[in-house]
Amino acid sequence: MQDGPVPPPLVRRRAVVRGIVQGVGFRWSCTRAAERFGVAGWVRNLSDGGVEVAVEGPVDRVEQMLGWLARGPRFAQVTSVEVAEEPPVGESGFRIVG
């Protein structure tokens, strides 16, 4: 028998965001959105001008974050988001890397 509610299963998605998205402003906005949605992971600029984002958490929150990535902050012009599924790693927090 289990005590208390069962936590929702975690999922992890890695997304590559393309468009006018590179820079500190987009990465900072990602960290704020991740805090708002309650997901863990990281964000980094890619050498080809895209941004890579790993998002981990309950499926509904991860989907909300991916929806946000497709829209991006007002100043960004997102043209595409390629998403791949990965196994969760038990990450906590959200950070800017590289």
Distance (Å, whole) CA 5 – CA 11: 18
Distance (Å, whole) CA 78 – CA 62: 18
Given 12, 13, 45, 61, the catalytic residue = 45
Asked if 18 is an active-site residue, the reply is: no
- φ/ψ region of 94 (left if φ > 0, alpha if ψ in -120 to 50, else beta) reads beta
Given 12, 13, 27, 61, the catalytic residue = 27
Asked if 95 is an active-site residue, the reply is: no
Q: Which positions are catalytic?
A: 27, 45
